[in-house]
Amino acid sequence: MYTPKEFALTDRALIQQFMEVHNFAALISQDGGEPIATHLPLSLNRKENCLYDHFARANRQWQTISGQTAFAIF
């Protein structure tokens, strides 16, 4: 995603704090080559530098997201 340098946020601690305070995000991946998105709470694990989520069983995105690079919008 293009971000003009005057708007770029590079302070990792500030980014992580924002993600923890505003943890409801849109998680985007692909299903059969088509984009699919789900709004859900994401939990940041600072030690492992990753995000954890919980999909509803009825949401098909959890079945297709494995092995993909996903995109989270906070």
Name residues whose C-beta falls within 8 Å of residue 10's C-beta, 6 or more positions apart in sequence.
none
Here the tokens at position 17 are 């704090």
Q: What are phi and psi of 46, to 5 degrees?
A: -65, -35
Here the tokens at position 28 are 């985007």
pTM above 0.95, yes or no: no
Domain regions of the chain by residue span: 12-73
Rounded to whole angstroms, the Cα distance separating 33 from 30 reads 6
Name residues whose C-beta falls within 8 Å of residue 11's C-beta, 6 or more positions apart in sequence.
none
Predicted local confidence at residue 1, as pLDDT: 78
Predicted local confidence at residue 8, as pLDDT: 93
Percent of the chain topping pLDDT 90: 96
